């Protein structure tokens, strides 16, 4: 009998996605694996058990995880799930390890080899495995759909005999994968779109989608991107200048969508309560970073809040999961593409090459230890991050323009080609 891949039903009530599709089940079987899908695992993604069975999977129960050599999941396994895994099993999921050292320690003690899909390096070889891009792309799309659902007016300009309906003014803050898709979707719906980001490389991408770019383009802005393509945290002086610019702009907007995240850090605050108060009644703000503390002051995870001045702040959780039927298909392909690189095609069995760059970048635990260099001390001093994390303010109080101290300009870092994939903001 060959090795077994197990796909469980996610235990989180807010997680409708599943880590396999009928297509990937068929392809996993072609690699020589016996595939077991837990009963009901795909129902939240419109995939009935019968579809998995037709593709060659056996429909099982949660206890079947105990005989699995590979477990494919959406979210990090809970302590209860870990107890059901056999030592040495490879578990591949979106692990969300930052601030969850106790969970990493538990995975190490369980003896599993855990891989974090969100750590996949953004190189050509791994593009098909990039879960941050596949899921953020759908989150950006859904953010605009959610905004349109809460906005009580039409988004495109409409000229009728009875008069003209003006186009909705939409502002996207953070132009990573989610931001770019939000721009494209809002433009398709006919909105007038502007966007901002601290990375200069995205300016041309924004303009290529028909939107206008808004930023304080000084020397610090020119050097505001890391070698890995992520946004740097800006100085207080830059934050104040950007705040003054965006505060005036936000007051005129109908829809604002924030997407800014820096890996391993709390979400930067982009929209203050004063900015929210300056917006017109009926305006909508969608905060895609609400699970990491939020970009918007007043955003509440899992809720749509209406402020005293009639502005709706949308804080839906797991936004890509709101289009689970699409998100699961893409995520399943990401997982299959990664797992395939670790399979010995001749022997038809898992053969993890620990010196492979993809494995080294994504492996969190192995052989009873936390092995990822960013979390190697987790076992020695496990801790659980507090639920409420005070976020760094990127765009602060714009009620007054403080005097900016003159500092020696740093040598600008060469920006990446605008044609390269945007990173840093989800």
Relative to beta strand 163-165, strand 113-116 is unpaired
> Residues 18-32, buried b or exposed e (16+ Cβ, 10 A)?
bbbbbebbebbbebb
* Residue of 101, 130, 146, 366 marked catalytic: 130
Give the three-state DSSP class for 61. Answer: coil
* Residue of 46, 122, 188, 265 marked catalytic: 122
Which strands, in side-by-side order, build the sheet including 4-7? 58-60, 34-38, 4-7, 70-75, 90-94, 113-116, 363-366, 369-370
Give the DSSP H or E segment for 35.
strand 34-38
Q: How far is CA 112 from CA 17, 84, 87, 137, 379, in A?
A: 23, 11, 5, 30, 14
* Residue of 85, 141, 151, 230 marked catalytic: 230
Asked if 9 is an active-site residue, the reply is no
Alpha carbon 129 to its chain's center: 14
Relative to beta strand 312-314, strand 304-306 is antiparallel
Give the three-state DSSP class for 254. Answer: coil
Asked if 85 is an active-site residue, the reply is no
Asked if 322 is an active-site residue, the reply is no
Asked if 230 is an active-site residue, the reply is yes
In 218-357, beta strands by DSSP E:
255-258, 284-287, 304-306, 312-314, 343-344, 349-350
In 334-418, beta strands by DSSP E:
343-344, 349-350, 363-366, 369-370
φ and ψ at residue 391, rounded to 5 degrees: -85, 150
* Residue of 127, 218, 235, 397 marked catalytic: 127
* Residue of 45, 133, 326, 422 marked catalytic: 133
d(CA 68, CA 2): 11
d(CA 132, CA 384): 24
Asked if 355 is an active-site residue, the reply is no
CB 35 within 8 A of CB 23: no
Instruction: List 171's β-bridge partners, or say none.
Output: 194, 256
What are the residue numbers of the active site? 122, 127, 130, 133, 230
């Amino acid at each position: 009998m060959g090795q077994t891949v197990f796909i469980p039903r996610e235990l989180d009530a807010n997680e409708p996605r599943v880590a396999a599709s009928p297509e990937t089940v068929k392809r996993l079987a072609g690699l020589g694996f016996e595939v077991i899908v837990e009963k009901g695992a795909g129902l939240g993604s419109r995939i009935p058990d019968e579809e998995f069975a037709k593709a060659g999977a056996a429909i099982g129960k949660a206890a079947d995880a105990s005989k699995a050599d590979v477990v494919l999941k959406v979210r990090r396994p809970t302590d209860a799930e870990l107890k059901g895994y056999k030592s040495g099993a490879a578990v591949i999921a979106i692990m969300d390890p930052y601030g969850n050292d106790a969970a990493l320690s538990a995975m190490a003690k369980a003896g599993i080899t855990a891989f974090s899909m969100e750590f996949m390096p953004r190189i050509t070889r791994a593009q098909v495995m990039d879960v941050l891009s596949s899921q953020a792309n759908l989150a950006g799309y859904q953010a605009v759909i959610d905004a349109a659902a809460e906005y009580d007016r039409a988004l495109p300009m409409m000229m009728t005999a009875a008069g003209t309906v003006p186009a909705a003014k939409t502002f996207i803050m953070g132009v990573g994968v989610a931001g770019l898709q939000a721009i494209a979707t809002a433009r398709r719906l006919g909105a007038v779109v502007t966007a901002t980001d601290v990375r200069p490389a995205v300016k041309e991408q924004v303009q290529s989608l028909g939107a206008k770019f808004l930023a304080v383009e000084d020397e610090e802005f020119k050097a505001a991107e890391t070698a890995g393509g992520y946004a740097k945290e800006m100085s207080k002086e830059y934050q104040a200048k950007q705040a003054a610019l965006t505060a005036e702009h936000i007051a005129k907007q109908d829809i604002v969508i924030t997407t800014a995240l820096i890996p391993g850090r709390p979400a930067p605050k982009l929209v203050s309560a004063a900015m929210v108060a300056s917006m017109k009644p009926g305006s909508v703000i969608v905060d895609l970073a609400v699970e990491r503390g939020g970009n918007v002051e007043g955003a509440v995870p899992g809720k749509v809040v209406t402020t005293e001045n009639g502005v709706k702040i949308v804080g839906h959780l797991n936004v890509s999961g709101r289009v689970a039927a699409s998100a699961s298909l893409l995520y399943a392909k990401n997982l299959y593409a990664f797992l395939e690189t670790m399979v010995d095609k001749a022997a038809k069995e898992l053969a993890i090459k620990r010196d492979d760059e993809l494995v080294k970048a994504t492996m969190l635990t192995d052989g009873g230890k936390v092995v990822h260099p960013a979390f190697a001390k987790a076992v020695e001093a496990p801790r659980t991050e507090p639920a409420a994390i005070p976020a760094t303010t990127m765009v602060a109080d714009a009620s007054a323009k403080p005097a900016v101290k003159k500092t020696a300009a740093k040598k600008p870092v060469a920006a990446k080609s605008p044609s390269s994939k945007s990173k840093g903001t989800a």
